[in-house]
Structure 1
Amino acid sequence: MTTIKSTHINTSSRGVNIVNARVIVTCPGRNFVTLKIETADGLTGVGDATLNGRELAVAAYLTEHVVPMLIGRDATRIEDIWQFLYKGAYWRRGPVTMTAIAAVDTALWDIKGKIAGLPVYQLLGGRSREGVTVYGHANAPDVESVLSEIASYVDLGYRAVRVQTGIPGLESTYGVGGDKMFYEPADAALPTENIWSTEHYLTHVPKMFAEVRAEFGPTLRLLHDVHHRLTPLEAARLGRSLEPYALTWMEDPVPAELQEGFRLIRQHTTTPIAVGEVFNSIWDCQELITSQLIDYIRTTVVHAGGITHLRRIFDLAALYHVRSGSHGATDLSPVCMAAALHVDIAIPNFGLQEYMRHTPETDEVFPHGYWFEGGYLHPSEEPGLGVDIDEEKAARYPYRPASLPVNRLQDGTMHSW
């Protein structure tokens, strides 16, 4: 008879207890919130806690409610701490809570990688691909100038491009800004008000993509963000009109609160659908995934509870032929981008990764080891996430109030932006 002896390992003696956690708010061109956790043996981990337009709400949630509960805990118990913060809050989910949990979770994965001496993706099962295919943002006030923008991305080696242009008859629209490379929609302390016309939009977009396909041929992957602004039937009409141009996806065609609407879209068009950047839990997308009403799920590390919870979402999606397409705009810091790449490189059902380049000031505040080459992003090979925050440089850029715009119809009615 073989006797198995149970041995309790006191990981606290290894110095992995959390002794400090601090929230750092900085604005090197736009606002970012970062959580930095430190263990007794001096290891540190960072997590992104940025919620665009509501940054200070997450900073307060972390500082007042989460950080005091972290001190003294074993940093290696990632799952247990995730469940403690999720189930222990009672008021579960929501963008503020889940962004705060994500910051803790991501920082703990960073520490875990450093303890193991491995990049985080190795702890997630290792590489499933050599590089992460990313898409860039080509935006311009008109079709003629957007063709030039697309060409510049193709010249850089991009294999996929999101296309947004101004709409004739409207002064402004989502996705088109003054700075083509560093587009940031949060443009004022209080929300600016844009005017919207669905009729103008539905007339313009198919004509735009007809010219894009004529210029670039059938193989360049093209994407478009509707940004929640249509009804299901309007979205179905748009999707059908775009079928000849073979988009990789039509993003956020309708607000996702009424998920039955996606079934109606599915019945009328074969244009692939992507959704989920505003989702913060697996419960937000469970029906969309299991009923195969979408093709790409765009949840992110920072808004969906960190690496731990995002991996659950992607694993569920893999069972239903749904691929990842994570949000990656400039409102996610290099900390989140680094974490996303470790997930992207490991999961079997990767689709695309959005990639908007950060300003030089942001890159200085957040030194990182990931890099772009030939249309791919590559995660750092350093232990952990391979990213950090330079707190001295961060202190040079104090918080600046910035709000996302809002939309009104031409008659003044509030509408989804």
Structure 2
Amino acid sequence: MGTKIMDARVIVTCPGRNFVTLKITTTDGIYGIGDGTLNGRELAVVAYLQEHVIPCLIGRDADRIEDTWQYLYRGAYWRRGPVTMSAIAAVDVALWDIKAKRAGMPLYQLLGGRCREGVTVYAHANGHEVSELLESVAKQQELGYRAIRVQAAVPGVADAYGVPHGDKPYEPADGDLPREEVWDTAKYLRFMPKLMDAVRSKFGFDLALLHDGHHRMTPIEAAALGKSLEEFQPFWLEDLTPAENQEAFRLIRQHTTAPLAVGEVFNSIFDCKQLISEQLIDYIRATVVHAGGITHLRRIASFADLYGVKTGCHGATDLSPVCMGAALHFDVSVPNFGIQEHMPHSSSTDEVFPHAYTFAGGMMDSGEVAGHGVDIDEKLAAKFPYKRAYLPVCRLADGTLHSW
């Protein structure tokens, strides 16, 4: 019999934004940590872990990662969903961390070893005006990024996704109650070719250029956008329309050859089964914390590989450094890796979560520390208590609630 799980605790901290961390300790004194953060619904995951998961973990064999995953997934009659899968992910990543520490190896070695020397990442550039966006792109290039997502305020629209309010870094979860934004898709569709043309005219076509539609278009609107942007050769167009109806991407695919990415809100392989098997997308953006951990994300990636679909994991600041560390070990080991999103965390977050991963020359490296290479300073974490923070909601000009 392997080592047993002796203790499991949830740590909530807010060094600028809220993070949920599960710490599991085994009978041989080794501990591992996993990320369970669900932006704007953090305490729902905390309650699920504390009330429903942790009591089932104590005394279990820590080596039985797959069996524990199946126990928490199949053993719960009410399956899937972001709360359940984020909680399962926290357990899964913590157990992989423990197993790699016991083996004395960086986690990627247990996942089959390196498939590449580093992980290509993309940065975010934004601006209240196109000129400001161009300055932001130049700054990201100076930092070494060779792939950049571009977002800018739409003329005549008060609020645009991906653009900060004022001079602060972009952080959408910024209200004690949800802030309401107003949106106009028609103005956005007219503006986007001008934005992409301005970026290509200044920076040329060697730069990998990405854009996020953030679920705000109907399928035919998304098809029109893709068609209008083809000449600018985007690396991908992300989340153009809500993907609950996976068939909607057939319509988009019929009208554009622009590469399509989707999936940061997905929780399981069933959310993207049709999208992948019918080759309706090019990149699957499911991530470690929201898709049930490394165990399940590897399953999604293996399925995607059969159909030529690559990974493009979500990596915004609503995922803790624990998730980023785990994602980088996944990224460096998976054969059909595409690209990894990277939003640097605040200095206070990096202090709470010391980590082995590094960034240089447009790429990230997981490091060679045993485990996933990310730790938590519990004393420092305790100095940053939870602060409720909601993501915005979105309405059209007539007041109709719209996808944010």
**Shorter-chain TM-score: which interval?**
over 0.9
The aligned counterpart of 1:224 is: 211
Paired letter, 2:161: Y
CA distance in 1, matches of 2:367, 2:54: 28
Q: Are 1:365 and 2:372 matched, yes or no?
A: no
Contact 1:139 1:180 in 2 (8 A): no
Counterpart of 2:18 (choices 17, 24, 31) is 31
Alignment of 1:294-309 (within 5 A): 294-309=281-296
Counterpart of 1:348 (choices 318, 332, 335) is 335
The aligned counterpart of 2:126 is: 139
CA distance in 2, matches of 1:244, 1:163: 16
- Would you say how many aligned residue pairs link Structure 1 and Structure 2? 404
Paired letter, 1:405: P
Q: Are 1:188 and 2:188 matched, yes or no?
A: no
TM-score (norm: length of structure 1): 0.96
CA distance in 1, matches of 2:381, 2:125: 29
Contact 2:35 2:322 in 1 (8 A): yes
CA distance in 2, matches of 1:236, 1:330: 29
Provide runs of 4+ in structure 1 moved above 6 Å.
none
The aligned counterpart of 2:369 is: 382
Shift of 1:173: 1.3
Paired letter, 1:30: R
SS at match of 2:317: coil
Paired letter, 1:337: M
Shift of 1:58: 0.1
Shift of 1:181: 7.8
Paired letter, 1:234: E
The aligned counterpart of 1:279 is: 266
Paired letter, 2:243: A
Paired letter, 1:31: N
Paired letter, 1:285: C
Shift of 1:172: 1.4
CA distance in 1, matches of 2:95, 2:135: 43
CA distance in 1, matches of 2:300, 2:5: 28
Shift of 1:206: 0.8
Paired letter, 1:302: V
The aligned counterpart of 2:101 is: 114
Identity of aligned residues (%): 66
Shift of 1:380: 1.9
Paired letter, 1:311: R
Counterpart of 1:104 (choices 88, 91, 103) is 91
> Structure 1 residues 333, 182: CA separation in 2 closer, same or farther (over 3 Å shift)?
farther
CA distance in 2, matches of 1:20, 1:342: 25
Shift of 1:178: 3.5
Shift of 1:182: 3.7
Contact 1:37 1:44 in 2 (8 A): yes
Q: Are 1:81 and 2:68 matched, yes or no?
A: yes
Contact 1:344 1:350 in 2 (8 A): yes
The aligned counterpart of 2:235 is: 248
Shift of 1:63: 0.5
Counterpart of 1:405 (choices 376, 392, 396) is 392
SS at match of 1:60: helix
CA distance in 1, matches of 2:170, 2:291: 23
The aligned counterpart of 1:333 is: 320
CA distance in 1, matches of 2:273, 2:104: 35
CA distance in 2, matches of 1:380, 1:336: 14
CA distance in 1, matches of 2:67, 2:207: 44
CA distance in 2, matches of 1:143, 1:270: 26
The aligned counterpart of 1:6 is: none
Counterpart of 2:59 (choices 47, 53, 72) is 72
Q: How far does the alpha carbon of each residue in 1:297-352 deviate from its partner, in whole angstroms, 9 at most, with x for none?
A: 00000000000000000000011010000000000000000000000000111100
CA distance in 2, matches of 1:88, 1:44: 25
Shift of 1:292: 0.1
SS at match of 2:22: strand
Shift of 1:398: 0.3
CA distance in 2, matches of 1:102, 1:204: 39
Shift of 1:179: 6.9
TM-score (norm: length of structure 2): 0.99
CA distance in 1, matches of 2:168, 2:327: 21
SS at match of 1:152: helix
Contact 1:181 1:357 in 2 (8 A): no
CA distance in 1, matches of 2:367, 2:374: 8
Paired letter, 2:97: D
SS at match of 1:112: helix
Alignment of 1:191-206 (within 5 A): 191-206=178-193
Contact 1:47 1:336 in 2 (8 A): yes
CA distance in 1, matches of 2:127, 2:46: 34
> Structure 1 residues 193, 340: CA separation in 2 closer, same or farther (over 3 Å shift)?
same
Contact 2:247 2:274 in 1 (8 A): no
Counterpart of 1:322 (choices 272, 294, 309) is 309
CA distance in 2, matches of 1:414, 1:275: 22
Shift of 1:157: 1.1
Counterpart of 1:236 (choices 223, 242, 252) is 223
The aligned counterpart of 1:171 is: 158
SS at match of 1:125: coil
CA distance in 1, matches of 2:168, 2:26: 38
CA distance in 2, matches of 1:311, 1:145: 39
Q: How far does the alpha carbon of each residue in 1:170-191 deviate from its partner, in whole angstroms, 9 at most, with x for none?
A: 1111100147784210010110
CA distance in 2, matches of 1:182, 1:160: 19
Counterpart of 1:162 (choices 149, 157, 178) is 149
> Structure 1 residues 38, 180: CA separation in 2 closer, same or farther (over 3 Å shift)?
farther
Shift of 1:156: 1.1
Counterpart of 2:202 (choices 207, 210, 215) is 215
Structure 2, unpaired ranges of 5+: none
Contact 1:182 1:359 in 2 (8 A): no
